[in-house]
Amino acid sequence: MAILRDHGDGNRRPGRLRRSRGPSAKYIEGHRDGHRAVGRSALHVLAHQDERRRKVGGRANCGRGQGQRSHDRERRSAQGLRDWSTGPSLRALAQSARALPGNPPATTNYQYDNTGNLRQTTVSCDPGFVPCGESWCVPSVFNCGGCGIACSTNHVAAACSGGSCNAGVCAAGWADCNGNKQSDGCETDLTSNVANCNACGNACSTNHVTPACSGGSCNAGVCAAGWGDCNGNKGADGCETDLNTVANCGGCGAACSGNNITPRCSAGSCESGVCQSTSFYQGGVLVYLNYADCNGNKRSDGCETNIGNDVNNCGGCGIRCSTNHVTPSCAATPLGGVCRGTCAAGWADCNGSIQADGCETSLATNPSNCGSCGHRCSSGYSCSSGVCTYTGGGGGCFAAGTVVTMADGSVKAIEDVVAGDKVLSYDVETGAVAPGVVTRTFAHPATPALLRINGTLATTPEHRFLVNGRWIAAGKLRVGDVLLHQECAAGSCQSGHAARVESVEVLRGEATTDAAALMSPKTLSSELATDADGVASLEILSGEETSYNLEVAPYQTYFVEGVVVSTLKN
């Protein structure tokens, strides 16, 4: 069997080791001195073998002198024998192995082959070590699968098994995703790598998301605008849900209500939904339903308010029906609702705005709406209990053209009398006729009510006449009442001067006189049967005129159409 032998000159040439005297294979493998037991190194065995060859194989050294052989021995001793199979210096390997404290020597087994050559059979090391050369064992993680092939320690507890570094255990959160622990160990950070998040090949989805891996979870990814991760699995399908739908409007599960509304979602808001408006017949009656979102929350309860029957939202949100002197109600219309209601007694909605101010007008006291809307009391009149009542000076008035007796016996139309004029007056206390001075005049346009007595004397119902020693308002006169004539007042009452009420006419407005009662006859007093002025008639006539009155000092009386009247209301 051919072998390579180091001849000392640095060149390996074929040679032959003949079997002759010397240690047997048995001796080499297991001599009683414990060569194998103590693990004799390959250096020792080969040195012994080389010495033996020198003794038995002189032919190999033919032509070489003793000095040359001595020189070769020294050179080999200095350089160290070389391994025949691998070539590296055994001494260098031994020194390299010895440089690591605790490295055990290799156990090398030899035997002679059938040609008589001594051959190495096995070299073995303790677990965790491998032989490099034939002398020493070195850690396997630095020589895994071959001398000098180290296992990477990058985020891995390096380990070599069967000549492979793949037995190494990765550090927590790291993995060998490229299958090469020998070169780069566990190179992949499973806590932050979006392509290998928590496990090799477990890539974070890019579906509507900027992927991110944090702590081994893909849930750190940021969803694109308008999209959401509603199933909680960004790793598998990213942000899979469109957040612009009525079921997920602006957020996962944030549904738009369908309460009286056609729901819509726009830009993540439910506010574009359209409130429902409908009409139908119910029991032959057309019913309108109009809804609105009055609480500003279409998402949660849609259009929650029926603006066709809600007095606080009648016809629209926030339109409240007034409760001012009214029991309010809201009536549905095609467009929503309108405020209606029942006014309290004595009150009315005269401005047509029952929604804003209810029944704002007192028909009992409002002179512009006395008794009903639009019924206006004239100047000098007030509204009392729904009736226009004269409140001007003089306690009443007379129509233009009414004749006033002056102090000198002459006459003037009442509208021509001025302050300072002297008129004929009557002292009720003494029953004497005396002059009086006009201190003030009154004119009332558009007098609402006038009566005409006996066809000539037109007066307001409030003006008072002296009847049988008592002052009676014109509106209370009855046909047959006897008025005091100026001739009678002067003590010369003659036949034909009687001022009996024969008729009363209501010229216009609301006289307080009952026309039927006015026309009922009364029996005259016997002493005035022929010489006193009696009420022959009372007429109720229509038409509007300006009325006049006087204020007379000191007696507050004067004569019109020959009969005495008072300037005072009471």
Q: What is the pLDDT of residues 303-350, one digit of tens each?
A: 999 999 999 999 999 999 999 999 999 999 887 899 999 999 999 999
In the predicted structure, residue 94 carries a pLDDT above the cut 70: no
pLDDT at 379: 60
Q: Which residue has the tokens 């009332």?
A: 444
State how far the Cα of 109 lies from the Cα of 127, in Å rounded to an integer.
Answer: 18
- Burial status of residue 331 (CB atoms within 10 A of its CB: 0-12, 13-18, 19 or more): middle
Peptide bond into 105 cis (omega under 30): no
Secondary structure class of 402 (helix, strand, coil): coil
pLDDT band at 143 (very low <50, low <70, confident <90, very high): confident
Q: Tokens for 256, please give them.
A: 């738009």
What pLDDT sits at residue 110? 73
Q: How confident is the model at residue 184 (pLDDT cuts 50, 70, 90)?
A: very high
E strand or H helix at 38: helix 35-38
Share of the chain above pLDDT 70, in %: 68
Residue 129 pairs in a beta bridge with: 139
Tell me if 132 sits within 8 A of 93, measured CB to CB: yes
Tokens for 464, please give them.
């008072």
153-157, 394-398, 429-433, 460-464: the lowest-pLDDT one = 394-398
Mean pLDDT of the chain: 77
**pLDDT the model gives residue 1:** 36
d(CA 359, CA 352): 9
pLDDT, one tens digit per residue, over 41-83 is 444 444 454 455 555 444 444 444 454 554 454 444 334 333 3
Domains observed in the chain: 3-142 (no CATH), 156-189 (no CATH), 394-566 (2.170.16.10)
Confidence bin at 516 (pLDDT 50/70/90): very low
**Among the ranges given (96-105, 111-120, 204-213), the one the predictor scored with the smallest mean pLDDT:** 96-105
Under 8 Å between Cβ of 232 and 223: no
End-to-end CA distance of the chain: 168
The confidence band for 263, taking pLDDT boundaries of 50, 70 and 90, is: very high
Q: Which residue has the higher pLDDT, 500 or 559?
A: 559
Residue 553 sits at the vertex; the CA angle it makes with 549 and 558, to the nearest 5 degrees, is 50
The CA-atom distances, in angstroms, between 321 and each of 194, 295, 330, 401 are 64, 18, 8, 53
Note the pLDDT of residue 11: 44
Using N-to-C axis directions, what is the helix angle for 42-56 and 90-98, rounded to 10°? Answer: 160
| Secondary structure of residue 526 in the 3-state scheme | helix
SS (H, E, C) 45-97: HHHHHHHHHHHHCHHHHCCCCHHHHHHHHHHHHHHCCECCCCCCEHHHHHHHH
Segment 464-489 shows an average pLDDT of 87
Q: What is the pTM of this model?
A: 0.45
Compute the residue count for the chain: 570
